[in-house]
Amino acid sequence: MPEIINMPRLSDTMEEGVVSKWLVRVGDKISEGDILAEIETDKATMEFESFHEGTLLHIGINEGETAAVDTLLAIIGDEGEDITELLSPSKGPIQLDLVDQINETTSSFEKEIKEDFKQETENNSFQIVTMPRLSDTMEEGTVSSWLVSVGDKVSEGDILAEIETDKATMEFESFFEGVLLYIGIKEGETAKVDSLLAIIGDPNSNYQKVIDNFEIQEPSTENPDLILKENPFEEKFSEELEPEKISEFDHNERIFISPLAKKIAFEKNIDLTNIKGSGDNGRIIKEDVQNYSEKEPSLKVESKNVSSSKIISLSESYDDIDNSQMRKAIARRLTESKFTAPHYYLSVEFQMDNAIAFRKQYNSIPETKISFNDIVVKACAIALKKHPNVNSQWFDDKIRLNHHIHIGVAVGVPDGLVVPVVKFADSKTIPEIGGLIKDYALKAREKKLSLDEMQGSTFTISNLGMFGIQEFTSIINQPNSAILSVGSIIKKPIVHEDKVVIGNTMKLTLACDHRTVDGVTGSLFLETLKGYIENPVTMLV
């Protein structure tokens, strides 16, 4: 019998996933434990392995495609096995398979519920609507108000209710069409996520058994004044049938008001807290607002003072930009680095007067031009030779001290960031380093960097000084153990030989992985680096 594999839930907040890469193809033999695909969740890209053996018969989600959790991902079975019926949309095999795959340890009570759901799903007679998870931290929700009543016809996209979460009160819309048959959580009641909220479907369907068996959380608060009217034949043409609750920021109590009354109050600029409602349970109705308006003319906005043509309608707007593969990779790698490597930071201010003079003299040589960044790269390469722990890499059972020095230089590109690598930087001259970095930067912007030119770094430098950034910290580019952040050169008063003079300074900040680089080790590295940069001629010795 073929095994259906659905999009897995790989994190507690995952609602959908992207197949970044398939590692197998249709027709391949699959063993238990084989990696089928790499799946990108809301937190990371993770490998997804098979729990079945057989032949890969079908792929339901192609590379780069996004699908909701439990969507058909693949089918594994015997070679040549007929899966036509499973792929037929009229049979609904994928949904039924979710019900059939009940864990054997599930209680008989839970099995009975799932069998009822399976039977009704097959008949397409009704749909169960549960309390939705409207925020990533939501555990329970309160139904603030129902916008439909039992017996109402509901279309896909109609707003069913307003639900208060731990963060806000949000409208909840229907994903189904039919008649509202049952309401499980009344206004003012609180229930856990996935509790039975409502049932939508054919009025002739038999859904009572599902209601009886469905586990519904008892409401944590009771409000007898907010009893939902469930009579489908009740008159619904009154403007006051659907009271609206408004939570005012400056008051602890809620205001009950009809939509029309609210509209009139808004147009007349009336403070609702000053109005006493005459409707049921103190609800404010149209007459209350009109009567208050007549008594308090000073609160009304005079039309002669405000021209409607001068009223500017403002609305929020945004653009959704699909994340590129580069942006996803940056997010994934930097997040992993920040939360796996224990970062700490060391900052030092360097005197740059000698370096400025050195660069000026060096650039006076025909056909030679170096930057301060080139000087920093060369100085780091020599300093790393003396401090191999900073040029190291962490493994769970060992620390690798790299003898070669490959320095990555962060380069900004329109899509994000790349880090080309100056390999064996300690053996190169400053002009050679500068020429390589310029070449890499051009290739990066033209998207022509090769994989070999972007991998293998043992240390990384990020320079934002050209943008006027005086000081910043960076996230370690793993598997490196450290990254150096280079700020801008600024003129300021400094003390030199007991005198206050104007000097040029630059701040550098070293981010270290505390698993491999202790505070003293990082400090000694910066001390050595300071010596080379403040006296760059020593790098030529």
Same domain (yes/no): 254, 156: no
Rg over alpha carbons for the chain, rounded to the nearest Å, is: 34
Picking from 273, 305, 337, the residue at the C-terminal end of a domain is 305
Provide the domain limits for residue 7. Answer: 3-90
The CA–CA distances, whole Å, from 280 to 234, 239, 258, 277, 283 equal 17, 13, 11, 8, 6
Name residue, tokens 């016809």: 153
Measured distance CA(375)–CA(489) in Å, rounded: 13
> At 93, which amino acid appears?
P
518 flagged as catalytic? yes
User: What is the C-alpha separation between 317 and 538, in angstroms, rounded?
Assistant: 57
Residues 34-54 have pLDDT tens digits of 999 999 876 567 888 888 899
Q: What pLDDT was estimated at residue 109? A: 47
Query: What are the respective helix, strand and coil percentages of the chain, to the nearest 5?
Result: 30, 30, 45
Query: What is the predicted pLDDT for the residue at 283?
Result: 78
Beta-strand (E) ranges in 363-469? 392-395, 398-401, 407-409, 411-413, 416-418, 421-422, 459-463
- pLDDT tier, 33 (very low <50, low <70, confident <90, very high otherwise): confident
Contact 362, 368 (CB under 8 A): yes
Instruction: Let me know whether 47 and 75 are in one domain.
Output: yes
Task: Tell me the per-residue pLDDT of 212-265, one tens digit each, with 9 for 90 and over.
Answer: 766 544 444 444 443 333 444 334 433 444 444 443 434 445 677 777 777 788
310 part of a folded domain: no
Question: Which of 537, 510, 471 is CA-nearest to residue 387?
Answer: 510
Q: Which residues pair with 19 in a beta bridge?
A: 39
Confidence of residue 441 (pLDDT cuts 50, 70, 90): very high
Write out the H or E segment, with its range, that includes residue 445. Answer: helix 430-445
pLDDT at 525: 98
Least confident of 93-107, 310-324, 331-345: 93-107
Same domain, 167 and 215: yes
Could you report the per-residue pLDDT of 115-124, keeping only the tens digit for each? 555 555 455 5
Rounded Cα distance, 364 and 385, in Å? 30
In DSSP terms, which residues pair with 141 in a beta bridge? Answer: 191
Say which amino acid occupies 255: I
Q: Are residues 183 and 288 in the same domain?
A: no
Cα Dmax for the chain: 97
**Predicted pLDDT of residue 303:** 45
Between 213 and 448, the higher pLDDT residue: 448
In this predicted structure, which of 271-285, 460-474, 514-528 has the lowest mean pLDDT? 271-285
Domain boundary among 194, 226, 258: 226
Give a yes or no: residue 233 inside a domain.
no
CA–CA distance, 13 with 383 (Å, rounded to integer): 45
Provide the 8-state DSSP code for 324.
P
251, 404, 496, 514: which is the annotated catalytic residue?
A: 514
Weakest mean pLDDT among 48-57, 63-72, 131-140, 393-402: 131-140
Q: Are the beta carbons of 459 and 384 closer than 8 angstroms?
A: yes
Helix (H, G, I), strand (E, B) or coil at 167: coil
Q: For residue 55, what is the domain's CATH number?
A: 2.40.50.100
Rounded to an integer, the average pLDDT of 479-508 is 94
The answer as to whether 99 is a domain residue is: no
342 neighbors 513 (Cβ within 8 angstroms): yes
Same domain, 137 and 86: no
Same domain for 66 and 122?
A: no
Per the DSSP assignment, residues forming a β-bridge with 393 are 400
Same domain, 114 and 76: no
What is residue 537's predicted lDDT score, i.e. its pLDDT?
93
Structure tokens at 390: 């900073």
Which has the closest alpha carbon to 408: 358, 351, 356, 333? 333
| 539: nearest Cα among 346, 368, 386 | 386
Q: Which is the catalytic residue, given 28, 100, 194, 518?
A: 518
Mean pLDDT comparison of 127-141, 153-167, 498-512, highest-scoring range: 498-512
Which residues have C-beta within 8 Å of that of residue 118, sequence separation ≥ 6? 96, 99, 100
Around Cβ 334, how many Cβ atoms within 10 Å? 16
The residue-averaged pLDDT of 390-417 equals 92
- In a 13 Å sphere around the CA of 267, the CA atoms on its Cβ side amount to 12
Residue 238 in any domain: the answer is no
Q: Domains in the chain: how many in total?
A: 4
pLDDT band for 93, please (50, 70, 90 cuts): very low
Does residue 389 sit in the same domain as residue 480? yes
Catalytic residue check, 78: no
**Residue 529 DSSP SS3:** helix
Residue 164 lies in a domain: yes
- Whether this model's pTM surpasses 0.85: no
Whether residue 382 is found in the same domain as residue 500: yes
The residue whose two tokens read 């916008």 is 147
Domain of residue 510, CATH code = 3.30.559.10
Are residues 198 and 276 both part of a single domain?
no
